[in-house]
Structure 1
C-alpha cells in the first residue's frame, strides 16, 4: 500500500477504482441506480466531476488565502524562492485548470439538464421567480466571475509577481498586491456562490 500511496498517479487511480467498487456494491445491495437512464447517469457523472473540480479549485483558493499568504512573512528570506519558484507555480497550475474544469463541467451539466438558459438569465423566462433557476443562476454567475478573475487577473499578475515573465521590482510588488486582493475577492464570492449552489439542490 505504501508503494501505491507514495506515487500521486497511483493514489488517484486507487481512488477511482475504490469509487467504482463502492458504487457497484451500493447498487448491488440496494438496487438504486439500476433503472437510471444513460442520460441521467451521464448527468450524474458530470455533476460528480463538477463537484470534484470545484473542491480542487476552492480548496486551493482557501490554501492560498488561509495558509500561504498569511504565513509568507514568517518564512526566512532564503527559503522564499522555494515557494515562488516551485510550490506557487505548481499550485497555480492546478488552481487555474481546476477553475476551468469547474466552469466547463458546470455549463455542460446545466445544458444536459436543460436549465442553462434559465440559469444564466436568472430565471427571466419564468418571470424572475425565486426558484432553482434563480439560485443556481446566481451561483453560476458568481462562479463565472471567479473563473474570470483567476484566468485574466490573478494568473497574469502572478506571472509577474513570481518572475515567470520579465518585470521590475515595483511592477512585481504591484502585481502581487493586485493578485492577492482579487484572490481575496474570490474568497468573498465563494461563500454566496457555494450557498447558491447548495441551496438550489436542497431548498428549491
Structure 2
C-alpha cells in the first residue's frame, strides 16, 4: 500500500499497489481541515496524522474502524510526523510562532519539546532512525537538513544548500533521501 495526504481535497488516501485501487481513508471536508503529515505503525495497524487546519494530531486504524484526536492543545501549525512504535512515541514538527519539534507517547500523553532552538520556522519532513535514535528533519526556511540525537539531544546540520526548499525526507540504512521544491 501507498499512503498520502492531499491538502487540496483535505483527504488521506491509500493505493493498493497490486490492484491500483485507490481508497479514501479520511475525508476532512470539515471546515478548516488540512491533513498534512502521516506516519504508519504497521505493527499496530495505525496511521497517525497532523491536521494543520484543525490544529490537531490524530490517529486512525488502517481498517477505519477507529479514529481519535490524540493532541489538541499546544499545537499551532503541526506539519510532519514520525512514529517510533518500538519506544511508543510520535514526533512532529510545528511551524507556529515558536517553531519546534515535539514528541508524545502514542496515546498523546506526555507532550515534550525535543528541539525549539536553531529551527528556521519551516520544519517540514521528518524521518526517524529508530535504531540509531536519530531524528532528521528538513528546514525549508533555513535551506538545511538537520538531525537531533534523541539520547544526547544534540542537533547537527547534516546538509545545507542556499536557495533550496527541502520538503520531504526519508532514510534507508545509512542513506537519506529528500525532495527539494526549487530543484523539482
Category of TM-score, reference length = shorter chain: under 0.3
Q: Which has the higher contact order (CA 8 A, sep 6+)?
A: 1
- What TM-score, normalized to structure 2? 0.22
Q: Considering only CA atoms, is the larger Rg found in Structure 1 or Structure 2?
A: 1
| Higher helix fraction (1 or 2) | 1
- What TM-score, normalized to structure 1? 0.21
| Higher strand fraction (1 or 2) | 2
